A and B are shown apart, each in its own frame.
Chain A
């Protein structure tokens, strides 16, 4: 128990340090992007004949902070806000908090991307086992080729193909947007059906785009485990096929858990191409729009959410690994 707590504390300390470093770097980079909207607004007001003080007050009233502070002042103010859980005000949507924007985008990202990731993981891992076991047969070849093909095709190509097929050639699904606005939001059948219909294509695209990676990774992992002595030993002890299958699958899936945890962290970055193609108002689209609008606070907030998610996913992966692999659990005590 003590080791778990010690391990967790270490992780948390490292995680917070990591988040601080990334926050600082992204702060500096973001502030150095050319085209400062606050400064632009301030200068526009001066051109329109306002005095500097008046322009500054007007801009500050619009955006919620001073346009002329030094970088250091802005940085300390930003960090101070973060410590108090304040992500700041959006510049492109004045009057709205960054946290609110991210929160509402997150719900459109997490479910589809989570669904897509888990779907492709389960599909890829299961088929990967068969691809490895039948690797000298036709089925194995077919599975491996499907994996390589889908792995090689970029997300946006798959997205466009899927759109073309299911909305134009065979129009059974809506082409974009998160939900049909004609339905009353809430827990009613029509609304939920519309949600699912709109989510189907993004999820499908995401699943197809990442399925190839899973099946290839699982296939090579299983092939490695199949060559291990203990599998032959288990076979020579007369273990049932189902038991053997579990031995193989559990050992082969270990290295994939780290990748899974990381991609679950990545999902907070949204799927930029997919959300753009399907006009799905998730985090990826939010990030792209915030960059276009030079919305510093929103950019910083989105980056922060991605950073935190990945750091947390890393910690979770490490702790999870200790649960599923006894060799890690003992922490080198053996």
Chain B
């Protein structure tokens, strides 16, 4: 059967381009990211920063007109996913890597009950003992606080958002995948259901010994569940490190701006300041130099011409020319 250890993941120099009328534009430009075995890693970023594209790349599932044009995604026990094709790739999806969609997205076939779709999944992956698969699914659903038997007999439209999300998690885990990717797992859920789903994600992660990747635009979600946090901007990972460090003492000017933009429950709403400008889209990403320079308070001459390479600072990786150098204190003050 499958290996029962949490796999590590090493994304190296991953480039994904989208074909457009004006040529191929990069959605990911040389992204590097390591998921340590057994950890929960979060990816935060604005819409269009490439975080979902990166998540899909872990299953080599970038949708046309996009394609992976370079780099590698090494997953322990699977090898380089970018090189997998055909049935090898299909079997890896679902069995070794589980993918959970946004709850608001309808990730189930509306014409079939959950149970029948579970059996389709089992047959597709040549599961010999289907009754055992059903038992496992019921147990998983029960573990997440649902009546497994009833849910398996239900159609998608008979389930609430929170229930659908738990069904999604069940389908991602039922074949015993140990790498799980959750794309916006709590978006469009009410606060209480959000909290429940996050608690379930954390508990299941620990109990089953998973390596988990959570894509979110909600820094609060990332702070609550992740061990390490990657911040994306314009198709690049601009900062990555232990979650508490990244949020506690952000080093990349974009991360700092992002955190300053969060309104606090206690205190004046005016204390939250939005980042000036807007994030780049595929067409407006500068061809050379730093992608963040147009909105950056620390902009220097070198930023216009050289794209900063990620550099390690202890456990932290930051891609910024201004980090690690003596910075003009007058400029820096507003960010402290």
Residues of A bordering B, CB below 8 Å:
228-230, 232-240, 243, 247, 250-251, 254, 324-327, 330, 334
Contacts and interface: CB of A to CB of B under 8 A. Distances in A.
A250 to B, nearest CB: 6
A327 B111 CA distance: 8
Contacts of B109: 230, 234, 247, 251
A228 B101 CA distance: 12
B264 interface: no
Contact of B61 (A236, A250, A326, A327): A236
Nearest to B61: A236
18 contacts: A229-B105, A229-B107, A230-B106, A232-B61, A233-B105, A233-B107, A233-B108, A235-B61, A235-B93, A236-B94, A237-B99, A238-B90, A238-B91, A238-B95, A250-B111, A325-B111, A326-B110, A327-B155
Nearest to A240: B124
B272 interface: no
B157 A238 contact: no
B157 A326 contact: yes
B123 A240 contact: yes
A229 B101 contact: yes
B238 interface: no
Contacts of A240: 90, 123-124
A230 B114 CA distance: 12
Nearest to B56: A236
B158 A330 contact: yes
B155 A237 contact: no
B125 interface: yes
A247 B90 CA distance: 16
Contacts of A326: 110-111, 113, 155, 157
Contact of B99 (A236, A254, A324, A325): A236
A85 B278 CA distance: 75
B203 interface: no
A324 B157 CA distance: 15
Contacts of B93: 235-238
Interface string B28-45: 000000000000000000
A238 B108 contact: no
Contacts of B111: 250-251, 254, 324-326
B28 to A, nearest CB: 18
A238 B125 contact: yes
Contacts of A230: 106-110
Interface string B122-135: 01110000000000
A322 to B, nearest CB: 12
B171 interface: yes
A206 B293 CA distance: 65
A235 to B, nearest CB: 7
A235 B155 CA distance: 19
Nearest to B172: A237
B296 interface: no
Q: When A and B form their complex, which 10 residue pairs have the shortest distance between CB atoms, in order from nearest?
A: A238-B94, A233-B107, A238-B93, A229-B105, A237-B94, A236-B99, A240-B124, A239-B124, A326-B155, A238-B90
Contacts of A330: 157-158
B120 interface: yes
B59 interface: yes
A228 B109 CA distance: 10
A334 B157 CA distance: 7
Interface string B166-187: 0010011000000000000000
Nearest to B159: A334
Given A237-B121, A250-B111, A251-B111, A228 B94 contact: no
B63 interface: yes
Contacts of B94: 236-239
A235 B113 CA distance: 18
Nearest to A136: B64
Contact of A251 (B101, B105, B110, B121): B110
A222 to B, nearest CB: 15
Interface in B81-99: 90-95, 99
Contacts of B106: 228-230
Nearest to A333: B158
Nearest to B98: A237
Give the interface centre of A238, A243, A324 by most chain B CB atoms within 10 Å: A238
Nearest to B101: A233
Contacts of A334: 155, 157-158
